[in-house]
Amino acid sequence: MVVMNITPKNCAIYTRKSTEEGLDMEFNTLDAQRESCEAYITSQRSEGWQVIKKEYTDGGYSGGNMNRPGLQDLLDDIKSGEVDIVVVYKIDRLTRSLIDFSKLVEVFDAHNVTFVSVTQSFNTTTSMGRLTLNVLLSFAQFEREVSAERIHDKISATKKKGMWVGGTPPLGYKLDNGQLAIEESEVEFLHHIYKRYVALKSVKAVIKELEREGRKSPERYSKAGNKRGGGSYSRGALHAILKNPIYVGKLRHKDKIYDGQQPPLIDQALWDEVQDILNKPVGPRNGQKLIRHKNLLEKILYDEDGSIYSPANSRKSSGTSYRYYVSQRILQYRDHPGKARARLPAHEMEQAVIKSLLHHIKTPSLAANLLLLNPRDDWMIIDYLEKNTIDAEELVRKSVTRVVIGQNKFDIHGDLKKLRDHLEDILKIKFPRENKVKNFCVSPGLLIKRSYKGSVILSTSHMTRSIHELPAREVRNLVRGIIWRERHFAGESIQSIADKENFSDVCVRRIIKNSFDTLMAL
């Protein structure tokens, strides 16, 4: 009789529900998902499958991003080696985003973790399972995008009729049967803000005066009982009140203004006077000239070893001047930096930082992660960011604190609060919820090469939008990455591919990953 030794496999069950509705029931949908997963694991007991008692669950969290406590807890346990198999009821319980799915698969592969969906009968150990997952995720993302478009169209049609579409009522109004009605206790305060702005001609001065007088913003409560307001006005919030056409009986939708059904609170003449002051260009004060620093990354550009880059200039015999960032290793010690270029073209490096930061703000899925927004609740803000013009150079000056350049990528570090505050000021929006995260970091891919004349050329995936515009080397690596990825999905190991192609395994992994990133960016 042959006795087979079966290796135990720890199975983590992940459950999720997009809304909080029904979660207070004794047996809710999260319980139903877990029960089905436990039954499936029990059926695989002969294979050594066993349930991890710890629960990984996210009730009331969207599948459109990875900012979920239960999911992050699961990923931490995967990285610590406590999980062998991730079991979910359906694929869209784990994620609805193809980009997020690719990140999860990378984590799963790196730690030899298998992913299983119990109602769709496949796993990621086979190439067919991976293909099916990609197809299902494509439809899940398509469904989410179609639903968002449907909501956008409904809101647009509602606003064209002058109807309030919901949300927190503005200062001076309250909700009455779903429509705006006058809140008499706040009308005097609204008039006071408008008149004081006309007198002081400065939002900052009005805020300071309101603080001296001890006047706070009215308190509002959401349907969930969460309190908003009750504190001092920020510059962005007060500016939004002064620019809001709702107070003269209008409604704004994107860049269009419609006649609203709500009663006006501000006289048209006073409104026009306020707008004239707001739109008046602000020039230099006290006889001083406005100084705009030429070198955007001065004092914040470093290599991976911590050596700073300093601005430098060179002038050709023709009189043309060129700007560079030069490593202090060269300037001080005549020592070439081992992991980065000794000299970088200033304009191209600055454009790489500017366009990469702008790309993360303008791309909905990236903006949600960067600015800590909830795609389900904050989709109007995300949509507004995508469609409006932003001075990204000034955004870099205001919020970026350090740029670290490596061989194939660079990290942009910054102050998240300053980034959000500046976006509020220039776009006249208000970000929801205070958060404890103080800093942000984005890490775009970077291609450094030389032209046929010897000039250094920098490019990122955000600076080339068409495959026909990609450099020849990047096209070759894109094709290689796609072919190697298919071979790997078919069961061939990374090391085997590296040996046959005469590349290192690290290089093969990087080319495969970069090919996926390039395809997603095109």
Give the pLDDT band of residue 450 (cuts 50, 70, 90).
Answer: low
Return the pLDDT at 340.
Answer: 61
**Cα distances (Å, whole numbers) of residue 236 to 135, 145, 197, 430:** 43, 30, 14, 7
Quick one: DSSP state of residue 335? -
Q: Are 174 and 180 in contact (CB under 8 A)?
A: yes
| Residues 522, 518: Cα–Cα separation, whole Å | 6
Return the pLDDT at 295.
Answer: 87
Would you say the CATH fold of 173-279 matches that of 9-146?
no
Mean pLDDT taken over the chain: 80
Please report the DSSP string for 287-330 in residue order: TPPP---S-TTTTTEEETTSPBEEEEEEE-TTS-EEEEEEEHHH
C-beta atoms surrounding 372 within 10 Å: 19
> Looking at the whole model, is its pTM more than 0.75?
no
Helix (H) or strand (E) holding 21: none
Q: Are 505 and 496 in contact (CB under 8 A)?
A: no
Question: Mean pLDDT throughout 264-282?
Answer: 86
Q: pLDDT higher for 340 or 515?
A: 515
Of the candidate ranges 75-84, 146-155, 412-421, the one whose mean pLDDT is the lowest: 146-155
Quick one: DSSP state of residue 161? T
Between strands 56-59 and 9-17, the pairing is: parallel
Output the six-digit token pair for 457. Answer: 């050329």
User: Who contacts 274 (Cβ-Cβ below 8 Å, separation ≥6)?
Assistant: 194, 197, 198, 242
- pLDDT one-digit tens code per residue, 10-24: 999 999 988 877 777
Q: By CB neighbour count within 10 A (0-12 exposed, 13-18 middle, 19+ buried), where does 135 fall?
A: exposed
Residue 399 has pLDDT above 70, yes or no: yes
Return the pLDDT at 225.
Answer: 64
Return the pLDDT at 292.
Answer: 46
Architecture of domain 9-146: 3-Layer(aba) Sandwich (3.40)
In the chain, % helix, strand, coil (3-state, to 5) comes to 45, 20, 35
Return the pLDDT at 401.
Answer: 93
Return the pLDDT at 228.
Answer: 73
Burial 188-222 (b: 16+ CB within 10 A, else e): ebbbebbebbeeeeebeebbebbeeeeeebbeeee
Query: Which strands form 309-315's sheet, in the order they lie side by side?
Result: 309-315, 321-327, 343-345
Output the six-digit token pair for 417. Answer: 């609060």
- Max mean pLDDT among 66-70, 117-121, 399-403, 513-517 falls in 399-403
User: Who contacts 455 (Cβ-Cβ below 8 Å, separation ≥6)?
Assistant: 345
Return the pLDDT at 504.
Answer: 87
Q: Are 226 and 377 in contact (CB under 8 A)?
A: no
Q: Which amino acid is at 46?
A: S
| Residues 266, 241: Cα–Cα separation, whole Å | 11
Output the six-digit token pair for 353. Answer: 């930082």
User: Who contacts 89 (Cβ-Cβ below 8 Å, separation ≥6)?
Assistant: 15, 32, 33, 36, 37, 117, 118, 119
Question: Mean pLDDT throughout 377-385?
Answer: 80
What is the domain partition of the chain in residue ranges? 9-146, 173-279, 301-449, 464-521
Return the pLDDT at 461.
Answer: 53
Question: Mean pLDDT throughout 271-300?
Answer: 71
| Residues 79, 76: Cα–Cα separation, whole Å | 5
Q: By CB neighbour count within 10 A (0-12 exposed, 13-18 middle, 19+ buried), where does 78 fall?
A: buried
Beta bridge partners of 228: 220
Q: Are 91 and 120 in contact (CB under 8 A)?
A: yes
Please report the DSSP string for 23-74 in residue order: TTSSS-HHHHHHHHHHHHHHHTGGGTEEE-SS-EEEET--TTSS--HHHHHH
- pLDDT one-digit tens code per residue, 352-378: 888 889 888 888 888 888 888 877 777
Question: Mean pLDDT throughout 188-200?
Answer: 90
Question: Mean pLDDT throughout 240-252?
Answer: 87
Q: Which CATH code fits 173-279?
A: 3.90.1750.20
Residue 291 has pLDDT above 50, yes or no: no
Q: By percentage, how much of the chain surpasses pLDDT 90?
A: 11
Q: Are 472 and 451 in contact (CB under 8 A)?
A: no
Beta bridge partners of 439: 415
- pLDDT one-digit tens code per residue, 57-103: 998 888 877 888 899 999 999 999 999 999 999 878 888 776 677 67
Residue 402 has pLDDT above 80, yes or no: yes
Q: For the chain, state the CA radius of gyration.
A: 28
Question: Mean pLDDT throughout 484-509?
Answer: 87
Number of residues in the chain: 522
Return the pLDDT at 51.
Answer: 93
Question: Mean pLDDT throughout 404-433?
Answer: 84
User: Who contacts 487 (Cβ-Cβ below 8 Å, separation ≥6)?
Assistant: 497
